[in-house]
């Protein structure tokens, strides 16, 4: 049966999409991709000469029209989003509209840019004795952030943080974070993680704004914040030789 597949394209590199996602694109009759961020090379997985739409130039109704008409003609649609579609993907409104029309759909997850950014700097968000929590958030832009999630309040936890959609407001980011984080807190800015023109800045909260401006980074970047970037930590229990678990008996 024909269906709409919401597919996470991954952070950029063509081979960072899942095998399942790539196979669906290969067979799809219609591709709708988020042109502002999805790497166009991903479209070349298609073997069917699919009709291609760039959703950056379309509104929600137009996207839904294409999806509905295609399914009516028994076609398969690959709706391609950047990273993982469950994070700032604006897919819920599409799924709910399809649901209301009785159109079947499925979501194929992807590698989000926040995990790609951690990989780029070769760091682990959840270090024992440092933090066991990752906060994914953003500064409010045209989309509001609920009051209870103000950046300065989230910063109170001193957890590992990944800030999406915020590098263009870097002064505000620093102002809010320094309410609770020390200015010596390590920060990484990863622009276009996994793209050929990936850029990494490692610095501290105190000089973050200056560095971002120096490198002229205004969009498509992750800001990672927290002691996980440079710190002393405890070894994991999972691989401790004295620790037993389901699959291994400790010494
Ligand atoms: N669903 C996507 C996020 C979409 S919101 C995901 O899971 O990654 C768009 C924001 O994601 C950008 O403003 C930027 O903050 C971040 N982003 C997307 N691709 C990126 C990349 N390759 N490197 C760094 N940040 C990226």
pLDDT at residue 195, rounded to an integer = 98
pLDDT digits (tens, 9 = 90+) for 2-12: 899 999 999 99
Q: Do 172 and 189 touch, CB atoms closer than 8 A? A: no
For the chain, where do the domains classified as CATH 3.30.950.10 start and end?
Answer: 113-229
For ligand 1, atom 13: residue with the closest CA: 165
**Ligand 1 mean position to 226 CA, how many Å?**
19
Q: Which CATH number fits domain 113-229: 3.30.70.360, 3.30.950.10, 1.10.8.10, 2.40.30.30?
A: 3.30.950.10
Name 154's Cβ contacts closer than 8 Å, sequence gap at least 6: 135, 137, 161
Atom of ligand 1 nearest to the CA of 219: 13
**Ligand 1 mean position to 198 CA, how many Å?**
12
Q: Do 67 and 94 touch, CB atoms closer than 8 A? A: yes
Name 159's Cβ contacts closer than 8 Å, sequence gap at least 6: 131, 133, 134, 135, 226
For the chain, where do the domains classified as CATH 3.40.1010.10 start and end?
Answer: 4-108
**Ligand 1 mean position to 108 CA, how many Å?**
17
| Whether pLDDT at 250 is above 80 | no
pTM of the full structure: 0.94
CATH number for the region 4-108 comes to 3.40.1010.10
Atom of ligand 1 nearest to the CA of 84: 7
| Whether pLDDT at 207 is above 90 | yes
**Ligand 1 mean position to 191 CA, how many Å?**
9
Which residues on neighbouring strands pair with residue 160, listed in sequence order?
134
| Whether pLDDT at 214 is above 90 | yes
Q: Which residue shows structure tokens 């409010």?
A: 140
Q: Do 187 and 205 touch, CB atoms closer than 8 A? A: yes
Q: Is 203 helix (H, G, I), strand (E, B) or coil?
A: strand
Q: Which residue shows structure tokens 């130039």?
A: 57
């Amino acid at each position: 049966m024909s269906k709409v597949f919401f597919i996470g394209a991954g952070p950029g590199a063509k081979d960072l999409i899942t095998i399942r996602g790539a196979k669906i694109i290969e067979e799809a009759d219609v591709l709708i991709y988020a042109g502002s961020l999805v790497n166009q090379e991903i479209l070349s997985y298609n073997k069917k000469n699919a009709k291609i739409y760039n959703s950056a130039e379309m509104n929600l109704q137009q996207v839904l029209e294409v999806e509905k008409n295609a399914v009516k003609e028994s076609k398969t649609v690959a709706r391609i989003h950047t990273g993982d579609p469950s994070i700032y993907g604006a897919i819920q409104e599409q799924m709910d509209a399809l649901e209301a029309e009785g159109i079947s759909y499925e979501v194929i997850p992807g590698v989000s840019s926040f995990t790609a950014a951690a990989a780029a700097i070769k760091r682990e968000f959840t270090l024992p004795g440092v933090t066991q929590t990752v906060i994914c958030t953003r500064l409010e832009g045209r989309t509001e952030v609920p009051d209870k999630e103000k950046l300065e309040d989230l910063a109170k936890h001193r957890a590992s943080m990944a800030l999406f959609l915020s590098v263009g407001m870097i002064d505000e980011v620093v102002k809010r974070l320094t309410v609770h984080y020390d200015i010596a807190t390590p920060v990484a800015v990863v622009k276009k993680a996994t793209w050929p023109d990936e850029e990494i800045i490692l610095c501290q909260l105190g000089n973050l704004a200056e560095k971002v401006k120096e490198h002229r980074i205004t969009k498509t970047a992750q800001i990672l914040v927290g002691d996980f970037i440079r710190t002393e930590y405890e070894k994991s229990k999972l691989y401790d030789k004295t620790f037993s678990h389901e699959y291994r008996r400790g010494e």
